[in-house]
Chains A and B, each alone.
Chain A
Amino acid sequence: MAERCAVIGVGQTKHASKREDVSIAGLVREAAGRALEDAGLDWADIDAVVIGKAPDMFEGVMMPELYLASALGAVGKPMLRVHTAGSVGGSTAIVAAHLVASGRHERVLTVAFEKQSDSDAMWALSVPQPFSAPLLAGAGGFFAPIIRAYMRRSGAPDHIGILVAVKDRLQALKNPYAHLHIEDISFDMVKDSIMLWDPIRYLETCPSSDGAAAMVLASERVAESSTSSRPPAWIHGMAMRSEPTMFAGRDQVNPQAGLDCAADVYHQAGITEPRRQIDVAEVYVPFSWFEPMWLENLGFAEKGDGWKLTESGATALDGGDIPWNCSGGVLSSNPIGASGMLRFLEAAMQVRGQAGEHQVENVRTALGHAYGGGSQFFAMWVLSTDKP
């Protein structure tokens, strides 16, 4: 049987479009050092390091973990490098948690980063390949038709995406680490922003960020004797699922892999009514419309009704019964490889009561979610204040 595992330390960088003050090593150390400090541990206390990031071409460094071994205190230790597309930050945390759950290690440092300013992600996504249609429009061009399909299917009115964009940016104002702090964000500002990939407007997309996230994962024994000023966030369920990019009949709006992954993680955590039992969720929403889509895929709303939940304000930190992305989410900070880990990490912060101004009151259970590829790779975990 698997051993219990908990998050006992978290750290993240100030995310920004260009972190020219630090190297890649400086960026990951900023997050990892904060996680260790939060956990009350030192570099030497760590048994193993698990690092994740999105494609290496985003920085132009092949397998950068090799060069980062010293910066992350990994010399003489096991070091793993995970890469599962946009879900990678979540997958990396899960691979690290399994090193504890398997009984292999007791204190694992997990880190994810992206330093997009070192290269050009749009270029890196668009390398021509033989016999493949070029993806010259980047991720937005890929997901726009899927969003349009959701709108047609659900009958959602055009302004739902704008509501999400405004809500997440308002919430980002309460998160000092968020990249985007748009003080005067408003419905009209989003509505009037340029249409990039119809129906996705400029302010309905995620930014391009430099940033890193880190967590310390611990065994039951270590978590219970932790000197951290915050309680552990216990893992009650974690799951990953993948499906192919394309095949006839694939539902890209409501992917089966997402449904299966949620069913698995809820089963492990004993969740039958997500909206009632989960207090706060950090969900990977890189384009505003993915909030209503994932509300349905994750079982918070019936199929076709996700947008109604968004419209009612249920997902807002201010007054909602199931606040989503209180940190501002991917729409406010997107260091790609770290974006999934930030969702997992923010869920831990909510459970540990350390989210500051964007803390939801009386959180017992939180969901962290990441997805990647063409909505085909999913990673999720459920954390709680109570030991499983």
Chain B
Amino acid sequence: MDLPQIGYFIVLSRVLNFTHAARECRVTQPAFSRSIKRLEWELGGDLLLRERSLTQLTEFGRSMLPLLEQVKAAADLARDEARHLQSRDSAPLRLGLSPWLAFPLIGAILSEVIASIRSMEFTIAVEAETVMRERMLRGELDVFVGLQADTLPERFNQWHLFSTGASVFLPQNHRLACEESIISTNLAEATLLGASEPEALPERILSQIARRVGRRPSTPHRAGNWETSLQLVRTGLGLGLGLSCWPTPAELVARALSEPVVEYDVVVETLAGRPQSRAATAFVKLARASAWTYAPDVP
């Protein structure tokens, strides 16, 4: 299939009239119809229901539309990007990072974007995930890297980067440090660190532990992000609950939470249909292409 064909179908799906769509695409109607027929053949099904006065998308057409829109958007973006390969125009990247993802995780990708795009202007926001998704919708952020949400607003594009388990972070001299991994019942009497946001990662892990041990372990102290949480572990305020992909500071140890087995998906998100700068596009492409050290099952 080629890009004009895909473009014709996207216009037709909007206006649902062959004559008007052909006019909008500036081709004759026979050429337009042939092109759509050819696309149907190549995709292996009827995209449209053609009735005398009514043109409608078939179920197959409805299922193919977002996929073809994605191909078209990616190609348009690449074409636009190619035009700016040698330009020095400013390329903003306004990135939102979950407070529960360690910055070093994206450090190498960011360095590569900076090295390739000298005119990049970088802004990073680290706030509660719900706040950042709202900021995306308001157009204040271009890209968000965070944990997969249970529900996502329709306008978001989301790509899975890798999955990671949960770990307990504890001082080297703690009695549980000699365990290979930790199960919920080990934590029933421990003081654990909670989070200042009810939906934040440590709270999600805590609710899983509470379900297993029948009550919530003691959590008198709460942190707002991964780094502070580890600082609180260092000062002896409790054991930290976090992701196995967090870097472990020298004086602490990380032990995988092996029961219950919990897994979190780390995703990158953009807002569909919003034009992206070259830096933002490059960041998303590099993130999606990356092997991610924490993805053990590649390929």
Please indicate whether A and B come from the same complex rather than being unrelated chains.
Answer: no
Q: Taking beta carbons and an 8 Å cutoff, which residues of B are in contact with A? A: none
Q: Taking beta carbons and an 8 Å cutoff, which residues of A are in contact with B? A: none
